[in-house]
Amino acid sequence: MAPLPEELTERIRAFQESRVILTALELDLFTAVGQGAGAPQVAAALGSGPRATEMLLNALAAMDLLVKREGVFHNSPEAARHFAAGSPDNSRPAWLHIAHLWQTWSTLTDSVRAGAATGRTIPGAEDWTEAFIAAMHRNASERAPLVVRAVGAGNVRRMLDVGGGSGAYSIAFAQASPALLADILDLAAVEPIARRHIHEAGVDDRVHVRAGDLRSGRLGEGYDLVFLSAICHMLDEAENLDLLRRCREALATGGRVVIQDFILEPDKTAPRFAALFALNMLVGTPGGSAYSEPEYAAWLSEAGFQQIHRVRLPGPTGLMIASRP
């Protein structure tokens, strides 16, 4: 029997290194290591088993995230910068979202057999909400300048950010145009997180938050721009069509709807990230998926939009833009 190619073997085993890093992040191990500590000291700080902690530390050293010298472990420059408390670039809160997704991805086999999520869907606990919004804020803050340049803020007087999360995109649009007023619609649990980011950005007077459920009810009226970022993949086809119809009703004549999401090519095998993300929605939502450009175009047309077009951006997401006649 011929052996598996090494590259394929590494792919099958790739979950092991991922799990090691996620466990270290969940324990906040890199903060405990600090400027250098032995396994007993780290275990004492974490309240974990000394033997098991040393095994985990050794694995992280083998992965070059820690350096071990004479029994003392030190953070690598990369780990100290990105995963230890006190660093201005600490992204641990955002990556904890991936740790939470570990549970839902473990149901993939059952979900494929059943044809839908099997019940152990994305948790709704407060710690998950904080981690999820932290992850979304980090991604959105990096991509917001690209989106604002592609969409343009000069002719936007009123904007509705549907499911706006931390408010990163509304903040970016408001900073790009001093005349722009933005409303963020999201769940009540997200509202205080958004208000915190809005206050830190100094745009409290022009970016407002209201609690609501994007799946039902009127969204408002008279907006020049309705923005949907990372929303459509959570919904099934019927829900997306319904949402886009309500977005059209919320727009003034000539107003635009902008969808940002992981947009698949027509055969749905590319880009790879989007094809994999569809499975993330399979295991984590009742009917969500990643959708293709033709699917978005069909929904927008049926919802009454015109001038429908796609804008390709650097990175994993793109835009679908359409106007209300």
Q: State percent of the chain over pLDDT 90.
A: 87
- pLDDT tens for 277-312 read 999 999 999 999 999 999 999 999 999 999 999 999
With a cut of 80, say whether residue 121 has pLDDT above it: no
CA dihedral 29, 34, 40, 45 (to 10 degrees): -60
With a cut of 90, say whether residue 139 has pLDDT above it: no
Mean pLDDT of 37-58: 98
Mean pLDDT of 125-143: 75
- Retrieve residue 5's tokens: 């190619």
Instruction: Say what the pLDDT of residue 128 is.
Output: 66
- pLDDT tens for 67-119 read 999 999 999 999 999 999 999 999 998 898 898 899 899 999 999 999 999 87
- pLDDT tens for 251-279 read 999 999 999 999 999 999 999 999 999 99
Cis peptide before 294 (omega within 30 of 0): no
Listed residue (106, 140, 104) closest to 285, CA to CA: 104
Burial zone of 102 (CB within 10 Å; 0-12 exposed, 13-18 middle, 19+ buried): middle
- pLDDT tens for 205-246 read 999 999 999 999 999 999 999 999 999 999 999 999 999 999
Q: What's the length of the chain?
A: 325
Burial zone of 165 (CB within 10 Å; 0-12 exposed, 13-18 middle, 19+ buried): buried
CA distance 51 to 53: 5
CB distance 91 to 97 below 8 Å: no
Instruction: Say what the pLDDT of residue 124 is.
Output: 47
Fold matches, 6-90 and 111-323: no
Buried residues in 195-204 as b, exposed as e (16+ CB within 10 A): bebbeebebe
Q: Which CATH superfamily is domain 111-323 in?
A: Vaccinia Virus protein VP39 (3.40.50.150)
CB distance 116 to 286 below 8 Å: yes
Would you state the CATH architecture of domain 6-90? Orthogonal Bundle (1.10)
DSSP 8-state secondary structure symbol assigned to residue 248: H
Instruction: Say what the pLDDT of residue 259 is.
Output: 98
Q: Give the pLDDT band of residue 152 (cuts 50, 70, 90).
A: very high
Mean pLDDT of 40-46: 98
Instruction: Say what the pLDDT of residue 36 is.
Output: 98
CA distance 185 to 210: 5
Mean pLDDT of 34-51: 98
Q: Residue 161's beta-bridge partner residues?
A: 184, 227
CB distance 231 to 214 below 8 Å: yes
Query: For 271, phi and psi rounded to 5 degrees?
Result: -70, 160
Q: State percent of the chain over pLDDT 70.
A: 97
Query: For 309, phi and psi rounded to 5 degrees?
Result: -155, 160
Other C-beta atoms closer than 10 Å to the C-beta of 51 total 10
With a cut of 90, say whether residue 2 has pLDDT above it: no
Q: Give the pLDDT band of residue 134 (cuts 50, 70, 90).
A: confident
Instruction: Provide the residue ranges of all domains of the chain, joining segments of one domain with +.
Output: 6-90, 111-323
Instruction: Say what the pLDDT of residue 122 is.
Output: 46
Instruction: Say what the pLDDT of residue 127 is.
Output: 63
